[in-house]
Amino acid sequence: MTPQPPAIEVRQLSKQFGAAQVLSPLDLVVPAGSIFALVGHNGAGKTTLIKLLMNILRPSAGAATVLGQSTTSLSSSAFTRIGYVSENQELPEWMTVQGFLDYLRPFYPTWDESGLLADLDLPRDQKLKHLSRGMRMKALFASVLAFHPSLILMDEPFSGLDPVTRDELIQTLLGRMSPEDELNHRGTTILISSHDLAEIESFATHVAFLHRGALLFAEPMDTLIARFREVTVTLSTGETVGANADLPADWLSPESCGAVLRFVHSRADREDPEMEVRKLLPGIRHVESEPMTLRTIFLALAKANRHQEWSRS
Ligand SMILES: Nc1ncnc2c1ncn2[C@@H]1O[C@H](COP(=O)(O)OP(=O)(O)OP(=O)(O)O)[C@@H](O)[C@H]1O
C-alpha cells in the first residue's frame, strides 16, 4: 500500500503582527486520518496557526499545505473538502437553522444532512440569532459535517459548553468521520485546538503543544502518555537531595522536601524510571512512579517552561 500524503504540512511557518512575533518558524506534519490536538496556554498562537492554514491570515514567512495545496492559493474546490469551526465564527444570524443549511447545500457536491439535525437535537425553524452558545456550535457542526469534509479545522469548539453538549458533539463528530477504506484512502482528518485536555485525551490520536508561539513537541498521544511519569523517591533516613544536585535534564521540576524527592520524568519510555533513580541516587528507601494524564503532563510542562524562562531572565 502506498503511504498517504499528510493532510497538513507546515514548513518554517511564522507570523508577526507588527513587531510582535506571534508564531516562531515552525514545522508540523498532520497525518491523514488523524485526530490532531493543538494545545497551549491562552495566547500561545493556536488560533493564528489555524487561521494561517485556512488562508484567513497570510504567513510572514514559510509555507504550509493542506490536502496537498498551498494554503495561500487554496482553490474553491479545496474549500468544498475543508470544514472550519471556530468559537468566534460569524453566522448569518437572520437565517433559521434549516435556512442556513439550505443556503450552504448548493456549494457542496457531497452534501448529505440526513439525520444530522435529529442527532444534534437542533430545532430547524429557530433563527441562528436566538440559539444558545451550545446550539450555535451544534449548528456549525451540522453545517460542516453535512458535506463530509476530508479535513476539519476546529478552533476551541467546546469552549463554554456543558459536558452533555460536549459529549453529544464529540459522539456526532466521531460517528460521522469517514473511516479508512479498503483502497487505503484515509478517512477524515481533524485538527482541533482546545483547553479541554481531559476531553481531548479521550479521543485525539496526536497532540502538539504550542508555547508562546513555539512548537514544543508534536507526537502521537500514546507515545506522549508513555513518555511521562510522576516519580516520588523516598530516601533513607539522613539522606537528602540538595537544591543544586546535578539531576538529569529530563527530570522536570524536581522538588525535594526532607527525604522525599518528586519530579516528572519526561523520557520514561527510554528507561525504567525506578531503575534509573536507583542507579543515580544513593540511599533509596522507596520509589514510586505513576502514569500521568494529558492534563497533568501539560501542567508539568508549563511549570518547567516557566521555571526555565525565569532562570534565563
Ligand atoms: N490581529 C492581531 N494583531 C495583533 N496581535 C494579534 C492579532 N491576533 C492575535 N494576536 C496576538 O497573537 C498572540 C496569539 O494569539 P492566538 O489567538 O493565536 O492565541 P491562542 O493560542 O489561540 O489563544 P487562546 O487559547 O486564548 O484562544 C496573542 O498574543 C494575541 O494577542
Average pLDDT value for the chain: 88
Residue 310: the pLDDT is 52
pLDDT at 116 over 60: yes
pLDDT-derived band at 59 (thresholds 50, 70, 90) equals very high
Band of residue 178 on the pLDDT scale cut at 50, 70, 90:
low
Give the distance (Å) from ligand 1 centre to CA of residue 48.
6
Nearest to 110 by CA among 139, 147, 142: 147
Q: Residue 31's pLDDT band (boundaries 50, 70, 90)?
A: very high
Nearest atom (ligand 1) to Cα of 210: 21
Place of cell 434549516: 98
Which pLDDT value is given to residue 238? 66
Q: Which three cell numbers stand for residue 207?
A: 497532540
Cell digits of residue 230: 510522576
Residue 300 vs residue 98, higher pLDDT: 98
Does the ipTM surpass 0.90?
yes
Give distance in angstroms: CA of 180 to centre of ligand 1: 35
Ligand 1, atom nearest to 213 Cα:
14
For residue 184, the model assigns a pLDDT of: 46
Give the pLDDT confidence score for residue 302 in this predicted structure: 83
- Look at residue 264 and tell me whether its pLDDT is greater than 80: yes
Integer Cα distance of 173 and 293 in angstroms: 23
Kindly report each contact of residues 213-219 with a partner whose C-beta sits within 8 Å and lies 24 or more positions away, as own/partner.
213/21, 213/22, 213/23, 213/24, 213/44, 213/45, 213/48, 214/24, 214/26, 215/26, 215/27, 215/28, 216/301, 216/305, 218/28, 218/29
Q: Where in the chain is CATH 3.40.50.300?
A: 6-224
Among protein residues, the one whose CA lies closest to atom 26 of ligand 1: 42
Mutate to test the pocket of ligand 1, among 48, 50, 155, 156 (most ligand atoms within 8 A of CB): 48
Q: Which residues line ligand 1 (CB under 6 A)?
A: 17, 20, 22, 40, 42-48
In whole angstroms, give the CA distance from residue 148 to residue 109: 10
Given the CA of residue 51, which atom of ligand 1 is nearest to it? 18
Residue of 16, 22, 194 with the most ligand 1 atoms within 8 Å of its CB, for mutation: 22
Residue with cell 542507579: 279
Of 3.40.50.300, 3.60.40.10, 3.30.1380.10, 3.30.420.10, which CATH number belongs to 6-224? 3.40.50.300
Would the pLDDT of 158 be above 70?
yes
Distance between CA atoms of 217 and 52, rounded to whole angstroms?
19
Tell me how far apart the alpha carbons of residues 37 and 156 are, in angstroms, rounded to a whole number.
10
Distance 14 CA to ligand 1 centre (A): 13
Q: Which three cell numbers stand for residue 213?
A: 508561539
The atom of ligand 1 lying closest to the CA of 156 is 27
pLDDT the model gives residue 58: 95
Q: Please give the number of the atom of ligand 1 that sits closest to the Cα of 195.
A: 25
| 204-218 pLDDT, tens digit each | 999 999 999 999 889
Once rounded to an integer, what is the mean pLDDT over residues 14-19? 94
CB 113 within 8 A of CB 101: yes
Contacts of 136-141 spanning 24+ positions with Cβ under 8 A: 136/91, 137/85, 137/87, 137/161, 137/165, 137/169, 138/165, 138/168, 138/169, 139/91, 139/97, 139/100, 140/85, 140/89, 140/91, 141/85, 141/169, 141/172, 141/173
Between the CA of 299 and the centroid of ligand 1 the distance, in Å, is: 21
Residue nearest to atom 17 of ligand 1 (CA): 47
Please report which helix (H) or strand (E) contains residue 140, including its range.
Answer: helix 133-145
Query: What residue owns the CA closest to ligand 1's atom 16?
Result: 45
- At 185 the pLDDT is 53
Please tell me the distance between residue 40's alpha carbon and the centre of ligand 1 in angstroms: 12
